[in-house]
Structure 1
Amino acid sequence: MKYITILGATGSVGTQTLEVIKKESEKFKLIAFSANKNYQRIINTIKEFKPKYVAVVDKFTYEKVREYCEMQNIDINIFEGIEGLTTISILPEVDIVVTSIVGMVGLVPTLNAIKAGKDIALANKETLVTGGEIVMKEAQKHKVNILPVDSEHSAIFQCLQGNSIESVNKIILTASGGPFRGKTKKDLINITPEQAIKHPNWNMGKKISIDSSTLLNKGLEVIEAHWLFGLDYKDIEVVIHPESVIHSMVEYKDGSIIAQLSSADMILPIQYALNYPKREKSLINKLDFYKINKLTFEKPDMINFRGFKLSYDAGIEGGIMPTILNAANEEAVELFLQKKIKYLKIIDIIEECMNKFENENNIELELILNTEKIVRKFIQDKYNF
């Protein structure tokens, strides 16, 4: 039996992780989870999975959950605020922490979980984008497995099994192209949040759906892949693959290419991470090759989708620049979702911040967290009217 904490249990990846736990209840037990404001999902999760602990970030929701559990005489420990994320990440009885919380808020509890010797099922790409150097060093020091849950990184991880990284020529990350593939800047001027979150292949949360539409998400995944697999940026390639059947590939030095294929369903990488190194009975719809008409591939459009190039450039520059990029993106996306800025302004704000703030190369956790605050405050002061 593996005992599990989920950071961000009410989001897309979190709810699908709960589905895996439910379907494989003989192997997994939910010990703790965190959530923000989704009161009903929090209560439903407590009632169905009966965890020992819950961390609720939002104060008002925390009070409602605490009151409900007291009235119903439910025996559960309830923690409030960001500090609760760390508390449930370092519990002695927990074996693996699923980090599916969105944004940089996942960095600190993930680091603390690693230091406590917990394996990490990583679905929070911002953790490695901003703190990859620190996180991977700590994981190596504490002999902790970092098991990728993003479909692309899980695919690469699977394609590498049985082979050494030294035998790799390059890795190839696939991307669907998002809902606006083939569009020009002129086409994107009046895009609404409702249009941008409609991903053609994947069911994801709002923030990551926006990132996918701008292709910035793929650049973040390049940075994440750099830290996960220890490859130079020149050895990480991105190809647009609209069908989302091939989730990523590894090209070896002898010219062989190994690809991981499956239906577009996050259940598979979640199940693989939780069961690693074993493979268990499928929980997803299997591919039917007789129904696949074609597999197509294109180069990324870096002219109309500058976000991809900016994120790639930030990764290559290194230092604190990926944190500047990520903080600017998180803030700009939120402004767009609130309809305070236009769609194309997201990337303009990111570029503005990358030009405004100087890079620093001596990365420490305090520098990362302070940089995030400074960048966010700059954007809020200038654009949050």
Structure 2
Amino acid sequence: MKTTASAVKTLCDMPKSHVQKLILKLPQNTHLQQLGLARSAAARLQVLRTLRDVHPDIFSEVLWLAEGKNLPDQKDIDLVPLKSNILCLVEACRKLKVKYTIDSQRGIVAVYVKPKQPPLYFKRSRAPFNSAVVSEICKDKDALNSILQDSVHTPKGECYLDPDVEERYQPYRMHLSLKAIAKDAMAKLGLPLIVKPNAGSEGRNVAKCTNSREVITALAEIYNKDSADYDSLALLQEYVEIAHEYRAVAFMGTVLLVYEKDISKAQHTDNFSPLHWQGAVAKHITDKSILASLQEFTSNIYSKLAIEYCGYDIAIDKTGKMWLIEANTVPMFTIFLEHNSADLLIDMYEKILHTLFTPTSR
């Protein structure tokens, strides 16, 4: 497999007519036209830089074609490829001879299950397997924990409505100030507390609080209506002392991919999500005992709530007890692919395709 750097050099040095033939295989795009017209290596390099920043999916496709349709797996200092789950899905389709079409500019892949049936559509990190209701339940952390509390360990928690919520929701308020919320939560859950948006993601606005003032500050961040991350509901939970945290990606009840959020050499940042810490690593897990334990744990969830495709965040505390932290119906693999071979994700998609699809020639 060629490196990204060699693919870039190939594009910059090849005759203009060859570049034009190559980009005819991709959707119409202004930057691609500029690439086809550029004569010098320096001019093409500048177009590639712009394409990388503005249309990363198309940029990856250009490199892919230049590399003989192999996914790039090495970073170049100047041009960093997008190793995306969409490209891994496409590679899985190609390996299994499953018919597909791809809209690189929009990040959409249509996968044809069987002849004379409509395709299943994937859009970037979104897959077509979960119902809208199941996805909404998983997004609502309080509702999810309520459903699963008798099946797996979930942190004890309380959900609180913004005291300054819009007028039509004010009759549902139980507490009229941040101070009152903090007092109630500390009385029920003790300290320290985890304060998070009920529908948040990627560790944004999540805080560990050790006193009333910190709880009030964290609530104010969540209830800040000027913030793009505003949530009218805050979830306050007991703190779990985590020894290990895993992401287990499962399809139709079977765990297909597991990695540990390894922070042993990381420095804490203002984001509570471990993989967003400086120096954190997504460590692929192959240990059979760990995989078996996670499979048993997620099977208990699936028997209660059929989440067909999910990235479970599962913690193991200092005593060895397993806890469900979150269930993500739109698992993303950007950080995983920074630390691991794309072949692992391609293999995951192959297993999904084997489960669902009758291969057809492209």
Tell me whether the two structures share a fold, i.e. TM-score over 0.5.
no
> When you count helix as a share of all residues, which structure comes out higher?
1
Q: Rg: which structure is higher?
A: 2
> When you count strand as a share of all residues, which structure comes out higher?
2
Greater RCO (Cα-Cα under 8 Å, separation 6 or more): 2
